[in-house]
Amino acid sequence: MAKYVWKTCFVALITMIAIAEIGEHLTGTHIPWVMRLSLVLGITVGMSFLKSTLNLVTALEEEKPLAGTVRNTLGPDRAPAAPTLKPSVENDERT
C-alpha cells in the first residue's frame, strides 16, 4: 500500500506540474505552488482511499469455509445427531 501511495503522489506531482506549465503557456494564468501541492495531496489521498476500499471489498469477497470453526455448523467433522439424555430419577415424570 505504501508503494502505491508513493507512486500516486509522484504521478500526480508530475501531471500537475505539466498541466500547470502548459496551462500557463497557453492562457497566461499562473497557478501558485500552494494550489498545485494541495491538488497533488488531494489526488493522493483520494486514490489511496479508493485503493484501500478496493482491497477491503476484495478481501470480503473471498469465501472462507466455516466447517469446524463455528459451533453451529454441520460440516463433515460434526454429526447432526441430537444428544441423548440418560434416564435418571430426576428426569422421571411419573412421580
pLDDT over 80 (residue 95): no
The more confidently predicted of residues 62 and 65 is 62
HSE-CB at 38 with a 13 A cutoff on CA atoms is 5
From the list 16, 8, 46, 12, the residue with the least C-alpha distance to 33 is 16
Q: Tens digits of per-residue pLDDT, 67-76? A: 555 555 555 6
How distant is the alpha carbon of residue 10 from its chain centre? 23
Per-residue b/e over 4-38, b at no fewer than 16 CB within 10 Å?
Answer: eeeebbeebbeebeeebeeeeeeeeeeeeeeebee
Structure confidence at residue 56 (pLDDT): 85
The more confidently predicted of residues 12 and 73 is 12
Average pLDDT score over residue span 7-20? 87
Structure confidence at residue 62 (pLDDT): 75
